[in-house]
Every structure is written in C-alpha cells, then in structure tokens.
Amino acid sequence: MKNTTKEIIESRGSWRRTNSCGALRSADAGKEVIMMGWVQSRRDHGGLIFIDLRDGEGITQIVFDPRESEEAYQKVHDLKNEYVIAIKGKVIPRLKGSENPNIPTGDIEVRARKLKILNTSEALPFNIDEKLEINDNLRLKYRYLDLRRPKMQKNLRLRHQICQEIRNYLSNKGFLEIETPFLTKSTPEGARDYIVPSRVNPGKFYALPQSPQLFKQLLMISGFDKYFQIVRCFRDEDLRADRAPEFTQLDMEMSFIDQEEIINLIEEMMVCLFEKLLGIKIATPFLKMDYPVALSRYGTDKPDLRFNMEIIDLTKIFSKTSFQVFQKVLSQQGKIGAMKVEENNQFTRKKLDDLNLFISAYGAEGLSFIKFKGENEIQSPLAKFLSSEEVEKIRLETKAQKGDIILILADQEEIVDEALGNLRLKLAKELNLIKKEKEYSFLWVTNFPLLKYNPEEKRYEAVHHPFTAPRDEDLKLLDNDPLKVRSKAYDLVLNGAEIGGGSIRIHNNHIQRKVFKLLGIDEEKAEQKFGFLLQALKYGAPPHGGIAFGLDRLVMILAGAPSIREVIAFPKTQKAVCLLTGAPSEVDPEQLKELHIKLDLPQ
Amino acid sequence: MKNTTKEIIESRGSWRRTNSCGALRSADAGKEVIMMGWVQSRRDHGGLIFIDLRDGEGITQIVFDPRESEEAYQKVHDLKNEYVIAIKGKVIPRLKGSENPNIPTGDIEVRARKLKILNTSEALPFNIDEKLEINDNLRLKYRYLDLRRPKMQKNLRLRHQICQEIRNYLSNKGFLEIETPFLTKSTPEGARDYIVPSRVNPGKFYALPQSPQLFKQLLMISGFDKYFQIVRCFRDEDLRADRAPEFTQLDMEMSFIDQEEIINLIEEMMVCLFEKLLGIKIATPFLKMDYPVALSRYGTDKPDLRFNMEIIDLTKIFSKTSFQVFQKVLSQQGKIGAMKVEENNQFTRKKLDDLNLFISAYGAEGLSFIKFKGENEIQSPLAKFLSSEEVEKIRLETKAQKGDIILILADQEEIVDEALGNLRLKLAKELNLIKKEKEYSFLWVTNFPLLKYNPEEKRYEAVHHPFTAPRDEDLKLLDNDPLKVRSKAYDLVLNGAEIGGGSIRIHNNHIQRKVFKLLGIDEEKAEQKFGFLLQALKYGAPPHGGIAFGLDRLVMILAGAPSIREVIAFPKTQKAVCLLTGAPSEVDPEQLKELHIKLDLPQ
C-alpha cells in the first residue's frame, strides 16, 4: 500500500483550476469543479473521508466516498497534512445540521471523483494553525510555512490593497510615480548608510538610500510637480523593536504648494484608505498641535490622544514652596510636572517603587504622589512638606476627585517631560485606558524648531533634516538666535506612532548654504556632499515640499497587527539577520578581491 | 533698475495655482487664473511682452501689457529664461491669425495683471529645447534640467502610466504585489552580485538581489498563488549599451499553472497595455518558435521578425561539392548558410570587404556572394568552384530573382548562425527593411534546452537558470543524455529584443537536487547556498512558474525611445557612475572600520 514519495507524485496534466478554495457557496451546488490546494486536515467518518482543502483564499471541505470512486477513496489514504492535491468533483450542499458557519464555504462540500497528488510534505515543524503560539525564530526560519497561516495571508493581501489604493488615489490626483536610484550617494538622515563597494571604480562605494529626499527635490527642480514613490529605504541602525534595516516608504513631493495644501491632501487620502479598506469613516480635519505643546503636555512629539492623562505643569504652584527638593529644582529652571491617575485604589508603595524604577531609564528619580482620599484628606509621602494652600491649588489645577492619585515629578524640564510621557503610555496600557481596539486618533504636530543644540558635539543639528525650510517670519533669526527659528515641518501621528513626516523645503540657494553652515557643514564639505543640490537650486528651483510615510507601520496599524514583522513577507531579526536564507553570510575571498576590499575583523 | 537675486525673490503668499500650463482652451476665455511655472522665453513686441510659461504639462503664452498693469510690465523686464514665476490674470482668445496650432493651448493667452518672481535662474548650461542635440554627459550631469524637456517629461509620464496599467491589470486578475528583501543572500543568476557589508555581523555581507527568483518561489510554497512585483534588481556586470547596474523588473509567479496559461495571460496584458497606452490593437496569439529554429533561421534566440531575410541552410546542396573550402567545412560537420539580399545593385567588392570585417567579430571569415544577374548568368567569386547544378539548386532553394544577391558563409554551425544573424540585423538597418516605426512584432521562443556545456569549465550550465523545470517527457534523459533535455522555459521577444523570460520551475526536491548536481553544485554547496529552498520543497511545494520582464526596455519600446536611459529618471553611465551626484564616491575610513573592511586597492 505504501508508495515512495517519488512514485506518488503526479503531474497536473490537463487539469485546470476552476476556482479557489474560498469561492464556493450554496448557489454553486451541482457544479463540476477542479480545485487545488493543501491538505489542512483529514478525518475518517463512517466510511467517508473528509479533507479540508486550503489555499490562499480559504478552505473547502472535500468528501471522498468509496461509492463515488473507489480509486480516489483508496488514494486518499496516502494523504497527509500539507500534501498538495488536485481534485475533480461536484459541489453539493452539506446535510442539514452539518454546515460550518465559521467559514464562508461552510454550506457546501465537494464530492470528489478524482484525486491527484501534486506533491507530498514532510511533517511540518509547526502547525498551520491560528491558535497556536509559535516561537518567533521558528516562524522566521520557516517563513514560507508561517505565511500559509490565514492571518499572514490576510495581512499581505491588505498590504497589497493599501498600496493599490494609494497608487490609484495619487495617480488620479495627477501624481507620477518616478523611480529613483538605489545605488547612490550618501545623504545623511541621521543614521548610518549601508554602502556597496564598486568593482569598476576601485576604492569607491555607493550608498543605499535612507530616503529619496534629494532625488525628489531634484525632480521638483525638473518640473515634475507631483511625485510619489512607494520605495525601499535603508538605515544601518542599532535595531530596536519595530525598526528594520530595510523598510518601505511612501514618499511624496509637490511643487508650488504649502503646508496646508499637503495636510488637506493627506487627510483626504487617509479618509479614502480607511473607508475603502476598513469601512471606517474618519473625521477631518485632524487635530493639530504645536511641537512645544506636545512636549510639555505629553512628553513626546508623537502623543497618543486616545486617552487623556496629560502632563500638568505645577511649577508655578510651587514658586514659593518651602520644600527644599522642589526649591532646588526651581532654582535651576526645572519643572514640576504631574499626572492624574483616576480612581486608582490599587496604588501601593510597591507600585510607586516600580514606577520609579521605570522612569530611571529616562534619567529621572523621585517620583512621588498625592492621593486625594476625601474632602480635606490626602495621603502622600510629601504631605509634611506641602502647605494646605499648595494642596488645594494642586487639587484645583488637576481637577482631582476623591480617589484620584496625582503623580509628581520634579527635575529638568526635558527629563520631567520624557519620563512622564513614557509613564503615561505605560500606565495607559496597565490601566487599560485605550478602550477601543479600533479607534484611530490622528494628530498633526507642527511648528517644530528648525535646530536643536547638540552639547556633546557643540553644534546645531537639524530637528527634521537639513533641507527643511525655516518659517519666513523667522528667517531673520537665523543669524542671531537660530534656536528660536521654527521650521515648516509637520509630522502625522496616529495612535501615538509617527506614521509620516514632512516639510516645505528650502528652494533658495542662499538659505540652504546658510543652514548648512549653521549645521557645521563648511563650504567645502557642502560642495563635496551636496554640490549638485546647491547647483540645482541656482537654476530655477520652484517652491516645494513633501512628506514621507512609513508604509510598514501604516499597514501594521490598519491590519491591527502587533508588529511590523506581521506585515512584511520576509523580515529580519533585530540583529538584521534573515533566519530563512541565512543572510548576511560570508563571501568568497576572490569576490572581495574583485571589489578591492578585504576583511578587517576585530581581533 | 537691477535688483540682486536675493531681493527679487518673492513668496507665493496666499496664491494657489488654478491650473497647469497645459490646461487652458478657448472655452476657458474670460476665466481668472493663477499659474506658476518656468519662463521658457520672452519676446518684446510693439509695447507688449510675451512670456511662454512652461510646466510639466505644457506651455501657455502670457502677455504683459502696460495698460493692464504698469507694475507687472516693469517687473517682467527682470525675467530671464528659467526664472520661476507666478502670474495672476485673465484668459483671453488670441487674435485671429496669431493662434499657435503647434501647442494645445495655442488658441488662448493669459493677460497678466500681477507677477511674482518665485525664483531666479542662472544661465543654463544648455537650452531646454527639443531640437538641440546635447552632449550625453552634460545631460546626465544636469539631469534635472534635461528632465525639463518635454520629451523626457512625456517618457516618465508614460512609464508611470505603464506601471499603473500593469498593476491594475494584475490586481484585477487576483495577483498580489508582495515586496521581497533587498538585503539578501546571493542567488547566482549568471552575473556578479553587488554586496553590502554588515556592521553588526562582522565579516558577513548581504547581496543585492539579481532578481527575487527564490523569494517568489517561496511565496508560491507559502500559498500565495498569484504574485507580482515591480522591483529594482542589481547586476554587477561589465556594462554594455542598454544594460544598467540597477534595473527594474516586472516579476511574476503563479501556482497551479502551465506555460500555456502564462502565455495567454501575458498576451492579454500586452494587448491591454498597447491598447490603453498607444491606442494600438495588437494581434494574438503571438507567434511561437522553437529555440533551435530561431537559432538556425535567425542566428539568435531573439529574432526580429519585422523583416524576412532568414538564414537559408545550403549544407545539403553542397554535400557532393568539389569546392575544397566547402568540403573541409562539411567534413567537420559544419554548416553552409546563406542570406538573400533582394535586388541589391549597390553590392560591391568593397561592401563585401566591409561585411567580412563585420562578421570577423563573431569569429567568422570568408563570406562570399552570388549575384543572379539574369536567366543563367551569375556573378560570384565562387563562380568557378560551383557546378551549374549547384547554382540552380541555390536559386531554387533561395527563390532568388534577377538582381538578388545571395550571401554565403561556411563554418561551424554556431559561427555561421551567429555571424549571419548579426549580419541580418546590420543589413536590415542599412537597407531600411524595417518599414514602419510603429510596428510591433511579438514572438515567443520556446523549447530551450535545459543545459549547455561549458568546455572551459568542463561542466554543464543552465541555459535559463538552475530552477527551471525539465520537460516531463525528457526527465528520463537527465541521467543519460542531459544536453538533450528540453526545459519548460519561454522568452518573449519584441522587435528583436528579449523583453521577458520565464519558466515553469522545479517543485520537486529530488529533481532540484539532480539538476544542481548536473550543474556541478555538490550536495554541500547546494545545502549551503540553497538549503532553504531544498528544505521548502519538502513541505508541500505546489507546481508553479512565472516570468519576468525588463521594465526599462518595455517602456523604451512603448515610448519609441532609442535607449533605456531615456526612460530612467537618473541613469548611470556605462562605467556605473552617476554624473549628477558623483556616486560612487570615497567614504570615510572610520566608516569602513565600523564595517570591518578595509580597502585593498590595486598597486
């Protein structure tokens, strides 16, 4: 009875699929069909054998009855899970009571007359089953099996649909998708470049693009006034969760537009995406928030507005405090920030210790609390240091009710903001403040500063990138007070994740040179790295601006997936390794020689 | 009167473009418009100044009249070519007799009331003018200016449209576009890989994909049964004309299909593309030709069928020849090939010398000719060596008429075929045999051999690639007579250029191992390079196949462009250099150190 694998495999011959495994409904009863797919499971039942046949579009129950075909019935005994088969048969309604309401094809089954085994399968390292938790590394190593799972099929299908919708939306608006080079020159975007040695130009290297920033600006100067591209970008970073060495960007640029027009266009596109793909109507205009407000109220430039619990500034209240710890902070222009945790009766000393441990990662310490227990009753380690007037002012400022806890942190402003901002997110998760899974909270963050000061390198850095335009009314500050200059940058935040960022760009050669200079890029270096841009700006560069979206993250959010790895077909690990293929790997010394490089390994 | 550049530039302020420079028609007369673009030219005429205003979509004539606005009229004197301006004004019909039928907006002009100068321009290194021939290197260095030319605008617009049509066509057929990695493992496709050193994995390298071949096969094993991707690929080749280090591929793969179904799908897609983009109906089914036939009749696997002039095999006619040169060739199993040049009275001795010089590049020599001058009259250097019977047989076999020239070449079969095949193309150009510019001649070449023998390396090579399936009926020859095995590969040829190639793949682990072995890839190496594929083939791999198109070439043909550089926004030179940015370039030694490599330059 047992055949060898070699003997068992048949050719598909002249058989042609009539439909996928997700297609048949009761209206199809009576049809003759040919179906192909994978054996999801086999069940023997009172002389009949049932196969769940699976392909990318669904599952159909196939029944083998010896009275229909003894030959097929015998052959079906050879089948194991994940064998690839083709069957010929007739669609019939399932018996009353044996329908399966959990699958779209659950009202019918196919009575098989013929069976071909197109390929066998060894036992899988894990089951193709939604319910099981599978080790992440195993999933990545056998990604081709992991991708058979319906959830992964759905995610990649959604990704395709999102890209199609974006392309159609932008094409209809007159945008052209224009491809830019991958083997190009370094354009510093704050991360390391991946570089590629050139064989025919010894000693020289290409850089893989961190974004097509300069090329899209050149396209504007070329007179293409609406550009987009869905394009792979590369950053050689030390990887964190949800960062990948290669990622996909929706990149856009337009001429003769301003921030408002870009914002309107993007909002309309988001409305269209959410409507078409999720059937959800999202409201416009999106909220807008100035960068300094986002920092001081949410401790981050990407606030999650699905819940409140803002950072409350108590600095003024304590201006005349007798509490020495606060006095000291205030004397150093520090901030006393607070956050209200509503009706949290579970708050304990141990919890406070946990939170203090958590914020220590942000350089903060000494988080304290005040619990409003009743009309004039508080519980707080600070109780003895606070005047009743101060307590009352805190109650008013925070609108604290009975049972609420006020967390208080005093330190340098940046530290308070960052620590409380992160604490806010942590507590929101723990306290389940984000009620609805499917809530989408968009926010534009605007009015970023153009520059920040890097005290270690003693120079200014671009908050956005070196090509972002200063606001016209702040131009005069460039010479005297550069940190005060605001830029024409804008970020789009969704549920606390930055999904897009952009700006109006500098289109004036003189201003671009001035900004380079402020960034510590001297004339010579500017010429060497960006000479082509500076030159192009001399030949009639139009006013222009754009935006770029992290497509992986956008798809992740639309798919409701917990990680970008769930929406990328072949992702890498955090060590930038592909567990499936083993990339990166060693190469032949001959190959290195041809490329004019040799290894220089750490001893 | 003269301002400095800095002073002259204005902000767009609240002005919003109402339309492009290609949009207005006589029906728009009376409309108030705001337009922005580049000054193409300025003409002073009897107290009026005319500006041709250009953007990516066209040109509109703007007229400045001092009676309308003295201020704008004065300001317009500052304008030079390629200044970026915004104007506010009213659309008016042009005076009778002054319409310009050469441009779509030629019936109207815009009478400007206000003018803003958005940017200035230095004098350009070349004119934005279709008619001028510009040095190629200058075009590439100032690509952003070159791209302003209407022809380049049109080419990139067409490229976008082609990609959109392809994506919509395939999406409607149920295909998913799935992105595959760029930082991946070497998959030899006959060319060198570009490699990328890994910083976090010292001594290891990624390879940039020559094609997504293995990933798309893995996607089939994942159960995605219709995949496509428009994707950048990379080959570090010594560059020839119309090859680029990075190129764009339309990549496709399907499960449960055969060659015929793929061919039908592609033909339908081509019909759709030509219809929608060029308004041309192309006939299907396309011609099909076996590989050996293509070689023996056209001397190439990509015959251009827009003209005849096939290679005619005269070997048999000379089986009993007394001509020693032919005798010798025949004794070595050589071929005597001929080509008929119709009514060529210009054929001279000098011409024959030219052609002999030409074919020497293919290792051939001794091209001769017979001119049929009349009923029994020939002119030929061979005349005294040929019997009248042989001459008559040649006349019959070649259907030579009075005035026709028969070119004759005797040598090894491969040499005769290649030399005459290339001669055929050369003569077609010289004799202007390809009559219609817009003729499209499609051809499928099929039945390629699976393997060829490389006498230098003493091993078999894959004619297509190592993953192409042998034909079922030839499987038994794999062990005994591998060169006889035909493959399930197919190429699509358009006007003598290979625009696509594909195959049904091996989906059986045992056959894949056997083919690797024939190709001299031993078990260990197969495991090391392709272990993940061999493993995947064990877990229920479906029968599958696909095809890939060179998108650059396809767009080039549809655009009627002479080179792929005309349809790529930022192409490189044949030395793989980007003249615009200067890539590749030297990198910081610190950067190399971080990547664990150092230079190893030729002394």
B1 pLDDT tier (thresholds 50, 70, 90): very low
Residue from the list A12, A171, A531 with its beta carbon closest to the beta carbon of B164: A171
Give B255's contacts in chain A (Cβ within 8 Å): 36
- In chain B, what residues touch A143 (CB-CB under 8 Å)? 218, 222
CB contact under 8 A, A583 and B225: no
Cβ neighbours of A536 in B, within 8 Å = 144
B185-222: burial string, b at 16+ Cβ within 10 Å, e else: bbbbbeebbbbbbbbbbbbbbbbbbbbbbbbbbbbbbb
Q: Do A539 and B122 touch (CB under 8 A)?
A: yes
pLDDT of residue A133: 80
Q: Is A296's pLDDT higher than 60?
A: yes
Contact B597 A594 (CB under 8 A): no
Which residue from B182, B540, B595 is facing A246, i.e. has the nearest CB?
Answer: B182
In this prediction, residue B99 has a pLDDT band, given cuts at 50, 70 and 90, of very high
CB contact under 8 A, B183 and A587: no
Mean pLDDT of chain A: 93
Report cis status (omega within 30 of 0) of the bond before B543.
no
Q: How far is B26 from chain A (nearest CA, A)?
A: 23
In chain B, the residue whose alpha carbon lies closest to the alpha carbon of A155 is B178
Q: Which residues of B touch A122 (CB under 8 A)?
A: 538-539
Q: How far apart are CA A151 and CA A560, in angstroms?
A: 11
Contact A339, A428 (CB under 8 A): no
pLDDT in tens, B491-507: 999 999 999 999 999 99
pLDDT digits (tens, 9 = 90+) for B219-253: 999 999 999 999 999 999 887 766 789 999 999 99
The pLDDT score that the predictor gives to residue A345 is 72
pLDDT score of A455:
87
- Rounded-to-integer distance, Cα A55 and Cα B174, Å: 13
Interval A186-225: pLDDT, tens? 765 568 999 999 999 999 999 999 999 999 999 999 999 9
With beta carbons under 8 A apart, name residues in chain A contacting B473: none
* pLDDT value of residue A2: 42
**Which of B143, B240, B136, B600 has its CA nearest to residue A184?**
B143
Select from A144, A161, A537 the residue whose CB has the most chain B CBs within 10 Å, as the one to mutate to test that interface: A144
Q: How do residues B175-187 score in pLDDT, each as one tens digit? A: 999 999 999 987 6
- What is the residue-averaged pLDDT of chain B? 93
Mutate to test the interface with B, among A168, A172, A222, A567 (most CBs of B within 10 A): A222
pLDDT digits (tens, 9 = 90+) for A98-121: 999 999 999 999 999 999 999 999
pLDDT at A570: 98
A162 contacts on B by Cβ (under 8 Å): none
Of B164, B197, B508, the CB nearest to A9: B508
CA A500 to chain B, closest CA, distance in angstroms equals 20
Stretch A153-160: mean pLDDT: 97
Structure tokens at A388: 């009743």
CB contact under 8 A, B586 and A205: yes
DSSP output for A500-531: EEEEEBP--HHHHHHHHHHTT--HHHHHHHHH
CB B203 to CB A599 under 8 A? yes
Instruction: Say whether pLDDT at B394 is over 50.
Output: yes
Residue B602's pLDDT band (boundaries 50, 70, 90)? confident
Kindly tell me the burial class for residue A377, based on how many C-beta atoms sit within 10 Å of its own C-beta (0-12, 13-18, 19 or more): exposed
Which uninterrupted H or E stretch holds B60? strand B58-64
B584 vs A204: CB contact, 8 Å cut-off?
Answer: yes
Contact B598 A598 (CB under 8 A): yes
Chain A hits for B36, CB-CB cut-off 8 Å, are: 255-256, 542
How far apart CA B51 and CA A264 sit, in angstroms, is 32
Taking contacts as CB-CB distances below 8 angstroms, the residues of chain B near A116 are none
- Which of B27-36, B429-438, B470-479, B576-585 has the weakest average pLDDT? B429-438
Q: In this complex, do B54 and A83 lie within 8 Å of one another by their Cβ atoms?
A: no
Task: Report the residue from B200, B205, B223 with minimal CB separation from A56.
Answer: B223
Per-residue confidence at A251, pLDDT binned at 50, 70, 90?
A: very high
- Would you say residue B6 has pLDDT above 70? no
Chain A: give the shortest CA distance to residue B46, in Å.
28
Query: pLDDT digit string (tens) for A268-277?
Result: 999 999 999 9
Chain B residues with CB under 8 Å of A12 CB are 256, 258, 543
pLDDT at A3: 43
Tell me how far apart the alpha carbons of residues B210 and B251 are, in angstroms, rounded to a whole number.
12
Chain A interface, best mutation among B193, B259, B581, by max A CB count within 10 A: B581
Residue B148: pLDDT band with limits 50, 70, 90: very high
Interface contacts A/B by beta carbons within 8 Å: 367
Closest residue to B510, CB basis, from A6, A153, A575: A6
Given an 8 Å threshold on Cβ–Cβ distance, is B582 in contact with A532?
A: yes
In chain B, the N- to C-terminal Cα span, in Å, equals 60
Please enumerate in sequence order all residues whose Cβ is within 8 A of that of B194, keeping only pairs 6 or more positions apart, or say none. Answer: A183, A196, A206, B207, B208, B234, B235, B236, B245
In the three-class reduction of DSSP (H, G, I as helix; E, B as strand; rest coil), residue A449 is classed as strand
Nearest CA-CA partner of B466 in B396, B394, B525: B525
CB atoms within 10 A of CB B334: 18
Give me the mean pLDDT over the B29-36 stretch.
97
Name which of A68, A19, A32 is nearest A47 in CA terms.
Answer: A68
| Tokens 């707080």, residue located | A380
pLDDT in tens, B283-336: 999 999 999 999 999 999 999 999 999 999 999 999 989 999 999 999 999 999
Instruction: Summarize the confidence of residues A489-510 as an average pLDDT.
Output: 96
Residue in A160, A219, A232 closest to B182 by CB: A232
On the question of pLDDT at A46 being above 90, the answer is no
Of A124, A540, A572, nearest to B38 by CB-CB distance is A540
Contacts of B583 in chain A (CB under 8 A): 181, 183-185, 206-207
* Threshold 0.80, pTM exceeds: yes
What is residue B600's DSSP assignment?
-
Contact B168 A168 (CB under 8 A): yes
Chain A residues with CB under 8 Å of B192 CB are: 199, 591, 594
Q: Where is pLDDT greater, at B30 or A134?
A: B30
A117 contacts: CB under 8 Å, gap ≥ 6: A8, A9, A10, A75, A78, A79, A83, A84, A85
Q: Is the pLDDT of residue B421 over 70?
A: yes
Q: What pLDDT score does B67 carry?
A: 94
Question: Which of A197, A224, A599 is facing B596, going by the closest CB pair?
Answer: A599
The residue in chain B having the minimum alpha-carbon distance to the alpha carbon of residue A212 is B570
Q: Hey, are the CB atoms on B223 and A179 less than 8 Å from each other?
A: no
B192 contacts A199? CB cut-off 8 A: yes
Q: How confident is the model at residue B441 (pLDDT cuts 50, 70, 90)?
A: very high
Nearest to A122 among B38, B234, B538 (CB): B538
Grade residue A130 by pLDDT with cuts at 50, 70 and 90.
low
- Residue contact B591–A192, C-beta within 8 A: yes
What average pLDDT does range B192-214 have in this prediction?
95
A311-325, A335-349, B158-172: the lowest-pLDDT one: A335-349
Token pair 């390809």: residue = B434
Mean pLDDT to the nearest integer, B551-563:
94
Contacts of B598 in chain A (CB under 8 A): 597-600
Inform me whether the pLDDT recorded for A587 exceeds 80.
yes
Chain A residue with the nearest C-alpha to that of B207 = A584
Q: Check residue A189 and give its pLDDT.
A: 53
Q: Which residues of B touch A118 (CB under 8 A)?
A: 256, 542-543
Q: Where are the alpha helices (DSSP H) in A334-465?
A: 349-360, 388-398, 413-430
A374 pLDDT exceeds 90? no
Domains contained in chain A, CATH given:
5-119 (2.40.50.140), 153-289+442-567 (3.30.930.10), 307-430 (3.30.1360.30)
CA-CA distance, A417 to A411, in Å (whole number)? 9
pLDDT for A132 beyond 80: no
pLDDT at B98 over 80: yes
Contacts with B229 from chain A: Cβ below 8 Å = none
The Cα–Cα gap between B322 and B327 comes to 7
Interface test mutation site (partner A, options B258, B554, B579, B600, max chain A beta carbons within 10 A):
B600
B340 pLDDT more than 70: yes
